[in-house]
């Protein structure tokens, strides 16, 4: 697999990107390294799918079509322009599917791994969503997901159906997976906010501040500092094994 220029650029920028991105990527790499060959990964709600860029894996992206005004405002879902962009930029994406993961129509036991970053909070039928993910995973397959930390983060997003408390998410996943590990992740505060500022070549000072914020927030968010800390953390990261 020969990486494209966009993928190489993302890999070079990874050290200064938001810490959630790096946390997810590190876990994905660790899981992939445990496979003898490039695994099939289903990226649910991936849209432009930045979390699986450049990984030695065969990626299928599935996401809803972008139809509603809320989706357009929040940059959710897929349209033909995004699909074409993903295919042009990515070397490891085998297929992009317009579909609903609560009723995907994908074959049973067809993926070694499913990744879903900041998606489940948008899904009304969350148990059906998790059940469907379990169905398409092979025995021993892994589901990696992140979602806002409901033990700390108030839900103010118009498209979020809920923010999970850690125990709620644990109970939901244990209905369909035999081994579930959930950690708190990503410290909040001024540096997190600074790091989430959008990058624009027209505003180099903003880029510099964002990079600085992400570097500091990454130090604040090291796993041994925050994984058991509910107060002040903004995300939950779960790894569930079938």
pLDDT tens for each residue of 80-129:
888 888 888 899 999 998 889 999 999 999 999 999 999 999 999 999 99
Question: Residue 67 has what pLDDT?
Answer: 67
Cβ count near 159 (within 10 Å): 12
pTM of structure: 0.92
Is the pLDDT score of 33 beyond 70?
yes
Q: Which residues contact 138 (CB under 8 A, 6 or more apart)?
A: 109, 110, 111, 112, 242
Please, is 179 exposed, middle or buried when counting C-beta atoms within 10 Å of its C-beta (0-12, 13-18, 19+)?
exposed
CB 211 within 8 A of CB 205: no
Tokens 């959008």 map to which residue? 198
Q: Which residues contact 24 (CB under 8 A, 6 or more apart)?
A: 51, 115, 117, 144, 146, 237
Is the pLDDT score of 216 beyond 90?
yes
Residues above pLDDT 90, as percent of the chain: 76
Question: Residue 133 has what pLDDT?
Answer: 98
Residue range 171-182: average pLDDT?
97
Three-state SS sequence of 177-192 = CCEEEEEEEEECCHHH
Residue range 52-74: average pLDDT?
82
Confidence of residue 71 (pLDDT cuts 50, 70, 90): low
**Helix H segments across the chain?**
5-13, 19-33, 69-74, 80-89, 126-136, 166-174, 190-195, 204-220, 223-226
Give the chain's end-to-end CA distance (angstroms, integer).
29
Q: Rounded CA gap, 7 and 212, in Å?
A: 22
| In the chain, where the domains are located | 5-187+231-241
CATH code of the region 5-187+231-241: 3.40.50.150
């Amino acid at each position: 697999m020969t990486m494209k220029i966009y993928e190489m650029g993302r890999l070079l920028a990874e050290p200064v990107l938001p810490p959630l991105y790096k946390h997810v990527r590190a876990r994905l790499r660790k899981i992939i390294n445990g496979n003898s060959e490039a695994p099939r990964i289903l990226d649910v709600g991936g849209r432009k799918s930045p979390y699986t860029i450049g990984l030695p894996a065969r990626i299928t992206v599935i996401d809803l079509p972008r139809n509603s005004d809320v989706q357009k405002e929040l940059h959710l879902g897929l349209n033909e322009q995004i699909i074409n962009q993903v295919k042009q930029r990515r070397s490891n994406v085998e297929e992009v599917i317009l579909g609903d993961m609560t009723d995907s129509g994908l074959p049973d036991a067809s993926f070694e791994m499913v990744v879903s970053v900041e998606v489940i909070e948008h899904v009304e039928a969350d148990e059906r969503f998790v059940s469907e993910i379990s169905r398409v995973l092979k025995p021993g397959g892994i589901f990696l997901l992140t979602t806002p930390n409901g033990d700390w983060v108030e839900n103010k997003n118009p498209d979020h159906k809920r923010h999970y408390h850690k125990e709620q998410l644990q109970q939901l996943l244990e209905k369909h997976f035999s081994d579930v590990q959930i950690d708190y992740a990503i410290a909040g505060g001024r540096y997190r906010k600074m790091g989430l500022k959008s990058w624009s070549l027209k505003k180099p000072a903003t880029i510099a501040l964002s990079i600085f914020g992400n570097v500091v927030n990454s130090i604040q968010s090291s796993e041994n500092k925050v994984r058991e800390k509910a107060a002040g953390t903004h995300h939950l990261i779960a790894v569930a094994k079938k």
